[in-house]
Chain A
Amino acid sequence: MAGLLLKDIRKSYGAVDVIHGINLDIKQGEFIVFVGPSGCGKSTLLRMIAGLEEITGGDMFIDGDRVNDVPPSKRGIAMVFQSYALYPHMTVYDNMAFGMRIAKESKEEIDRRVRSAAEILQLTKYLDRLPKALSGGQRQRVAIGRAICRDPKVFLFDEPLSNLDAALRVATRIEIAKLNEQMADTTMIYVTHDQVEAMTLADRIVVLSAGHIEQVGAPLELYERPANLFVARFIGSPAMNIIPSTISATGAQTTVTLAGGKSVTLDITTNASEKGKKASFGVRPEDLQATHSDDFLFEGTVSIVEALGEVTLLYIEGLVENEPLIAKIPGIPQVNRGDKVRFTADKAKLHLFDAEGRSYRAY
């Protein structure tokens, strides 16, 4: 049972707190992705799990053992770094064998494990090469191979694809997904700021912001039912449209008055006490549909048209000052700058957040 348990984990540098008490229960074999904007503490948290950063407060358990004071090499973890961190003076083979040599494994065992890792990652041809003679993608595969050789209980990835170009990133991402299937018992924790990586790889995503967890959940759960404004805006691209509004009627259904005066009724239950309060109404760009009927959600003027072929992004002015709403329309619609357009959306796909940013759906 190589699960991972984080209990009120804290980190501070002097008087500055960077991680404010993280509670997280990770099951064996799960693929967990930490996402969040730069500086949210996701890498720090990963490095604390690795043992490269000291834990200021709280308890961390790997496989049921408290590991706060266990050195990195004894935690049963392996880590893949963003910059690959290969030993430049060693061949691919020696890079992968280094950890086992330190651990005084037998020559045969080292050879067996290195060759099998090389086989999985198609590196057999390159075993005698130095890292500098490899491409970026190959180097990252060597780094992954070095981690595999450690036969870890927990696999840690620190933005492993950030240094690769776009095409290679997709290919390596798929390789990591395959690797995850092959190593079904190994827990994997993956840090990224790229939500495509997070959505495609994760069993569960942990969204972090400013040192605390915003929401934990399966990728589509986060997409469909974001618990708060931060997650709503962070997951999905372009970000969810947010329109300031006031709650005008409560009950099994809630009616809000959007900025601009339009009233919308949502299938969200609210208490009578919420009436009259400020709220944020949210709808994703891709959930908006152009309409000509009078039963529309909002109306505005197109200020920018970005035709990408498969989809077209329309920037709509007129509702929220200085912040155009965005609509993502499939295909290439006949819309020009300056046109007045109306949009509607499926009621089930509307979001409403209270003044603190919590979703009313999560109440």
Chain B
Amino acid sequence: MQQLLAAILTMIVGVLACAAYFWSTNFILDWIFPSKGLSGKAASRNLRITNAIRPWLFLAPALFALTIYLIYPVYQSVLLSFYDRAGVNFVGWSNYFWMVNDGEFRQSIFNNFLWLLVVPALSTFFGLIIAALTDRIWWGNIAKTLIFMPMAISFVGAAVIWKFIYDYRAEGAEQIGLLNAIVVALGGVPQAWITLPFWNNFFLMVILIWIQTGFAMVILSAALRGIPEETIEAAVIDGANGWQIFFKIMVPQIWGTIAVVWTTITILVLKVFDIVLAMTNGQWQSQVLANLMFDWMFRGGGDFGRGASIAVVIMILVVPIMIWNIRNAAKEMRSH
């Protein structure tokens, strides 16, 4: 109860503080450069000055927060990656040299690469197919809602759900895991799925695909609906069959949106962390970069230098895709 009150109080104080900030800064600005009660020339000069400054008054809090919470940490992380485990002594490139020779890091890079290849491709592909298939059936919206629902589940929550699906009990015992139950019912031998090196990566990827297909589907479904009906009718008259219409007329027209969806999921995949943490914590050769970074940074006493250097690597991988993604999205916006 007390916490609730404190939270509400904080909110009220925060909103009031914001209002006070905007009101007082604007008031001071108008006080320094008044535009009322002055002769024409001076008034218009002051008006020009206040108009130039005013937007910055509104932007300032956001810019300040971005600097504190985004730019400064980036700068500090890069700096930290050149220091030792306590972040005290400068060690040059040695964290990076350690990294390239570290087996687990290489394993993580390899796994991340696998994730990168599989998850965006399959999520986008399934999303596109489902969007197209559900477009013209009466229960399409019900199907879409069901497929979209995993989006509302946190990654950790999803991992817990799938832990039950992959759950393993010794042979002969009753299988409570869905997958093993099916395998056993079909006469197979139960497996501890998430401990199978290499393949366990794919069992983990399924979870992210399960979540992200809904996202891809929603965006692509909207894009498909934006295709002018006449172009499809023209293709029908031209003699194209369903497949040809889909791949030669519809998909090329939404190619920009597909690229945006693909890259958005790619960025997400590069940062994948929660699922691996909750499912295997990187054991059985399922380690990924983000989890590795977390390991070094905060576990076993912590090594700020190595943790930071892994973070920098992740950032370097994400940034170019991010830029491309933003440009593509902006291009999409302009063309519509």
Interface residues of A (CB under 8 A from B): 50-52, 71-74, 77-79, 81-90, 98-99, 102-103, 146, 150
**Contact indicator B237/A78 (Cβ below 8 Å):** yes
Partner pick for B239 among A73, A89, A90, CB 8 A cutoff: A73
**Contact indicator B234/A85 (Cβ below 8 Å):** yes
Main secondary structure of the interface of B (DSSP, over half): helix
Alpha-carbon separation in the docked complex, A99 to B252 (Å)? 17
Alpha-carbon separation in the docked complex, A81 to B233 (Å)? 9
Taking CB atoms, residues of chain B closer than 8 Å to A150 are 237-238
**Contact indicator A89/B234 (Cβ below 8 Å):** no
**Contact indicator A85/B230 (Cβ below 8 Å):** yes
Contact with A along B218-233 (1 / 0, CB 8 A): 0000000000101101
Query: Which residues of B from 234 to 270 have beta carbons under 8 Å from A?
Result: 234-240, 244, 248-249, 252-253, 255
Alpha-carbon separation in the docked complex, A87 to B227 (Å)? 10
With CB as the reference atom, state the residue of chain A lying closest to B252.
Answer: A89
Partner pick for A72 among B236, B249, B255, CB 8 A cutoff: B236
Taking CB atoms, residues of chain B closer than 8 Å to A82 are 230
Alpha-carbon separation in the docked complex, A72 to B252 (Å)? 23
Alpha-carbon separation in the docked complex, A72 to B234 (Å)? 10
How close is B225's CB to chain A, nearest CB, in angstroms?
16
Instruction: Across the A-B interface, give the 6 residue pairs with the lowest CB-CB distance, nearest first.
Output: A73-B239, A85-B230, A99-B238, A89-B252, A85-B234, A81-B230
5 other contacts beyond A87-B231, A87-B234, A98-B240, with CB at 8 A cut-off? A81-B233, A86-B234, A87-B235, A87-B252, A146-B234
Alpha-carbon separation in the docked complex, A77 to B234 (Å)? 11
Main secondary structure of the interface of A (DSSP, over half): loop
> 7 interchain pairs (CB within 8 A)?
A72-B236, A78-B237, A85-B231, A87-B231, A87-B234, A87-B235, A98-B248
Partner pick for B240 among A51, A102, A146, CB 8 A cutoff: A102
Alpha-carbon separation in the docked complex, A88 to B255 (Å)? 12
Alpha-carbon separation in the docked complex, A79 to B236 (Å)? 11
Alpha-carbon separation in the docked complex, A78 to B236 (Å)? 11
Alpha-carbon separation in the docked complex, A17 to B240 (Å)? 30
**Contact indicator A72/B244 (Cβ below 8 Å):** no
Partner pick for B237 among A72, A89, A90, CB 8 A cutoff: A72
Alpha-carbon separation in the docked complex, A86 to B228 (Å)? 10
**Contact indicator A52/B252 (Cβ below 8 Å):** no
How close is A303's CB to chain B, nearest CB, in angstroms?
45
How close is A310's CB to chain B, nearest CB, in angstroms?
38
With CB as the reference atom, state the residue of chain B lying closest to A150.
Answer: B238
Given that A73-B239, A102-B239 are known contacts, is A85 also in contact with B233, CB under 8 Å in the complex?
yes
Alpha-carbon separation in the docked complex, A74 to B240 (Å)? 11
**Contact indicator A89/B253 (Cβ below 8 Å):** yes
Alpha-carbon separation in the docked complex, A262 to B252 (Å)? 70
**Contact indicator A73/B237 (Cβ below 8 Å):** yes
With CB as the reference atom, state the residue of chain B lying closest to A89.
Answer: B252
Taking CB atoms, residues of chain A closer than 8 Å to B237 are 50-52, 72-73, 77-79, 99, 150
With CB as the reference atom, state the residue of chain B lying closest to A50.
Answer: B237
How close is A70's CB to chain B, nearest CB, in angstroms?
12
How close is A67's CB to chain B, nearest CB, in angstroms?
13
Contact with A along B145-177 (1 / 0, CB 8 A): 000000000000000000000000000000000
